[in-house]
Amino acid sequence: MIEEHRLRTLLHYEEPRRADRPETVTAREHRRGGSRCPVPRQLEASEVGRLLNMLLEAYDGRRPAAQVRALVAPEVYAGLSGPRLALPRHRTQTIHTCTPVPGVVEACARVEADGRSFALAARFTRTPTGWRCVRFALLKPQHPGQPSRRAA
């Protein structure tokens, strides 16, 4: 049996109306420094959890560090990139966030890997382009004679 395929014209797409849509800025206003670029909104706890999971995937070597480069400060990226040994999968269990000052979100989480629990601490700052992780540290117990392994 031969099936026949036909193309049909697509319907026009209408963008949803959103009240939080940023205003447009003319080139002249932008050159004068009168840019009305929208300020990135506050990070929600669910977004912090998603970002922490992405960073843990890069830490474990299950995600290329280059994929999170735009989300992290250079010193954090340096701690996530480079050769990695096979690490167990780290999973976030509980996440707590706080806002010590406007434009900063700090998070701590309990992370499990291989049946053990570890602490995770992170700090996100608001930049003109969005939120950026400026501190990411997975705190593991130190074994005698071994240097501690921490991300930047």
Mean pLDDT, rounded, of the chain: 77
CATH number of 43-139: 3.10.450.50
Encode pLDDT of 47-87 as tens digits. 899 999 999 999 888 888 899 999 999 999 998 887 777 67
User: Which residue type occupies 17?
Assistant: R
pLDDT at 147 over 60: no
pLDDT band of 15, cuts 50, 70, 90: low
Encode pLDDT of 98-145 as tens digits. 999 988 999 999 999 888 899 999 999 998 888 999 999 988 776 655
Phi/psi region, residue 33 (left: phi>0; alpha: psi -120 to 50; beta: rest), is left
Q: Three-state DSSP class for 82?
A: coil
Q: Three-state DSSP class for 58?
A: helix
What is the 8-class DSSP label of residue 70? G
Q: What tokens does 6 get?
A: 């036909």
Which residues lie below 8 Å from residue 139, measured CB to CB, with a gap of 6+? 118, 119, 120, 121, 150
Q: According to the model, what pLDDT value does residue 107 have?
A: 94
Which residues lie below 8 Å from residue 21, measured CB to CB, with a gap of 6+? none
